[in-house]
Amino acid sequence: MKLQKFLQSKGYSRRMADKLVFNGEVSVNEKQVFEPWYEVNFGDKVQVENKNYTFDDRNQDYSYYVLHKPKGYSTTLSDPKQKHTVATLLQEKNLQHLNHLKPVGRLDKDVEGVVILTDDGDLINILTSARYGVEKVYVAKVRGKVKKEDLEKLRNGIEDNGDFLKCENAVVIEMHKDYSIVKVTMIKGRKHEVKRLFSSIGNPVVNLIRISHGPVDITLVPNPGDIVEIRANVLDKLLEIKKKNQNKVRS
């Protein structure tokens, strides 16, 4: 793979990749390289802007990152009506070269947690469509004590304003006098679905965190605002989901 293409797979625009190489700011295996067309081979170590990458041949045509979206930020890249967006967060962290990546699905502005960022269109379709059964897991703090029979209602599904809403699973992990902590597994992603489900049983959501999306979980980005590249075993699992379902996407 050409060095320019490799840098693009890491989120740099073509123009920025060329500029960094021509300026001598890129090294391969600790040797400065000045040609964007330089061939990068399996196992080569690339250094750029104090970041270290290894060409591991998994899927270098696309970039895969995970963000712990903080509360108060909109899951969008461009919205003049929103002061705080994923794009502005990337800018705050001097990661604006990742602005070409798209958030996979959405989280409400007042919800924090795992958001995958990628330019892999097939994977985005697979992770966001209920057709492929990829799970999203949330931890919800809700008012009051949640009854077992009410959790069963959520698993079986409810009607709300003409929409059929349901969760795949819901388990109480903490019960207190005034509130409960519930772990909720979802596949569909209707607007405000988790909040609407709990409101329907009289336990409105006070706080909501998405702790995983498929194999990508919050342990990779434990603090709000954290962002890391998805690599190694987690990336392998993501790409396996893509490989398994890719023919369905294109059929």
| Domains of the chain and any CATH numbers | 3-54 (3.10.290.10), 64-130+223-249 (3.30.70.580), 135-213 (3.30.70.1560)
Outline where the chain has alpha helix (H). 3-9, 14-22, 86-92, 121-128, 148-156, 193-200, 232-249
Pick the more confident residue, 169 or 43.
169
Averaged pLDDT for residues 216-238: 94
pLDDT of residue 247: 66
* Residues 158 and 170 sit within 8 Å (Cβ to Cβ): no
Averaged pLDDT for residues 165-191: 94
Averaged pLDDT for residues 66-95: 87
pLDDT of residue 126: 94
Mean pLDDT score across all residues of the chain: 90
C-alpha angle 7-9-12 in degrees, rounded to nearest 5: 50
* Residues 67 and 109 sit within 8 Å (Cβ to Cβ): no
Q: Is 226 a catalytic residue?
A: no
State yes or no: pLDDT of 58 exceeds 80.
no
Q: Which range is least confidently modeled, 58-67, 68-77, 148-157?
A: 58-67
- Name every residue whose Cβ is closer than 8 Å to that of residue 98 and which is 6 or more positions away in sequence: 11, 63, 65, 90, 117, 227
- Half-sphere exposure for 119 (CA within 13 Å, toward CB): 16
State yes or no: pLDDT of 59 exceeds 60.
no
Catalytic residue, chosen from 44, 108, 122, 236, is: 108
Averaged pLDDT for residues 188-210: 94
Question: What is the tens place of the pLDDT at every residue in 131-174?
Answer: 999 999 999 999 999 999 999 999 999 999 888 999 999 999 99
Instruction: Provide the 8-state DSSP code for 245.
Output: H
State yes or no: pLDDT of 249 exceeds 60.
no
pLDDT of residue 73: 94
Q: CB neighbours (10 Å) of residue 24?
A: 10
pLDDT of residue 60: 60
- Cα 140 off chain centre by: 19
Provide the percentage of residues in the chain whose pLDDT is more than 90. 62
Backbone angles phi, psi at 192, to 5 degrees: 55, 30
Backbone torsion region of residue 83, taken as left when φ is above 0, otherwise alpha when ψ lies between -120 and 50, otherwise beta: alpha
State yes or no: pLDDT of 43 exceeds 70.
yes
pLDDT of residue 133: 93
State yes or no: pLDDT of 189 exceeds 80.
no
pLDDT of residue 170: 97
Distance CA 45, CA 61 (A): 17
